Structure 1
Amino acid sequence: MRRDGGRPGGTYLAGWLFADLLLVIVLVVLGSEVPAATPDPGPTPTATATATATATATATADPSRSPSPTPSDTSRPGGLDPVTASVSIRLDPDDLIAGRPAATAELTRQVTQEIKRHEGRTAAFVMVFGTVRTASGGSGGSVDTGRSDTYATAVARLLPQAAPRFFPPYSEKIIRGYHDGGQGIPSGTARIELFFLLS
């Protein structure tokens, strides 16, 4: 199948998908880097000062007191967790795109139910893959890429409203919609791929 303008649909999607996945990989790599500790350049003690300090410490050492332990840096580097999660919902694409309240309420209900198993975590980057087929209902018919993109974007825009504590505020840079042309996926399915912060 070819898109308008003679471009192959699969190649067009692969390019955008590759670009976004590359962005995620870069974020994970940058977030995983641990900066090297820089030594604190202090004044170099003279031989006489060092000898005097050692002699004083030896003479006044209190065996009943133990030295205080040096606090260790237990903080972990920030960034995205490379382990992702995926949830799926299924709605009437036309109702959701039109902004009908019943469809919006159903999206909120399904999303709330699906993310319960990730309670306590916060999504940092989200990709929504929508499927809308030319045949009504079921998994028959070819994928309508334009409507699928519109449907996925509509879902992406509503996610922060459905679960504001779980999803970041909507931005095309961190919550993005795409079409999914996979075989056997029922029309109206939206697969939500979740990327979490390291904890």
Structure 2
Amino acid sequence: MNLRVAVTAIAGWLFADLLLAFAIVVLGTQDPPPRPVAQPSPPPRQALERGFVKVTLSVDPDDARAGRQGAVEALRRAIQAKPRLRGRKAGIVLTFGAQNNGGEAFARDVNHLLERADGTLFANVATRDFQLLGASGGEVMLNIYLFYKN
């Protein structure tokens, strides 16, 4: 009986050793995991300055709606009068318009003229239109948020 137990015990150890050898062979023949492909880094985000530049002016609502050059020139003069805006890039412009029958529509009309007034400052700028309360018709107030200088 001792011999029989010894043969059974040896057979179990032999089976375990063969299983271990088989596992090592299988793991050794596996392809290594693929290396992660380098993803292009996203473009750097630009940050806006905390404060804004306030520009106020009067524009004829009819000229703004029609996109006339007089409204564009009025915007250009008001912008050029602010030295802090020279050579800069705006990220967001909040435009407040005063008109008896729809200040938001008037502000939207003014926003459509911004890039014509200064294509560098207002290229691809985000705008919002608001009603300017307590002002007479034709008054416009721009709150211009600039990107930090590079």
Q: TM-score range by the shorter chain?
A: 0.5 to 0.7
* TM-score (structure 2 length as normaliser): 0.60
Residue 116 in 1 paired to residue 83 in 2?
Answer: yes
Residue 194 in 1 paired to residue 149 in 2?
Answer: no
Aligned length in residues: 106
Residue 116 of structure 1: how far off its partner (Å) = 3.2
- Greater strand fraction, Structure 1 or Structure 2: 2
CA distance in 1, matches of 2:108, 2:139: 13
**Unmatched 5+ residue regions in structure 1?**
1-76, 134-143
CA distance in 2, matches of 1:104, 1:119: 17
Partner of 2:114: 159
* Maintained 8 Å contact 1:129/1:180: yes
**Unmatched 5+ residue regions in structure 2?**
1-44
Residue 78 of structure 1: how far off its partner (Å) = 4.2
| Cα separation, partners in 2 of 1:160 and 1:187, compared to 1, 3 Å | same
* TM-score (structure 1 length as normaliser): 0.47
Q: 1:84 aligns with which of 37, 52, 77?
A: 52
Counterpart mapping for 1:36-185 below 5 A: 78-113=46-81, 115-133=82-100, 144=101, 146=102, 148-169=103-124, 174-181=126-133, 183=134, 185=135
Residue 108 of structure 1: how far off its partner (Å) = 3.0
Partner of 1:19: none
CA distance in 2, matches of 1:151, 1:130: 6
Residue 109 of structure 1: how far off its partner (Å) = 3.2
* Maintained 8 Å contact 1:112/1:162: no
CA distance in 1, matches of 2:145, 2:84: 14
Supply the AA of the counterpart residue of 2:129.
G
CA distance in 2, matches of 1:189, 1:124: 23
State the 4+ residue runs in structure 1 displaced beyond 6 angstroms: none
Supply the AA of the counterpart residue of 1:111.
I
Query: 1:1-36: per-residue Cα shift (whole Å, max 9, x none)?
Result: xxxxxxxxxxxxxxxxxxxxxxxxxxxxxxxxxxxx
Q: CA RMSD in A?
A: 2.3
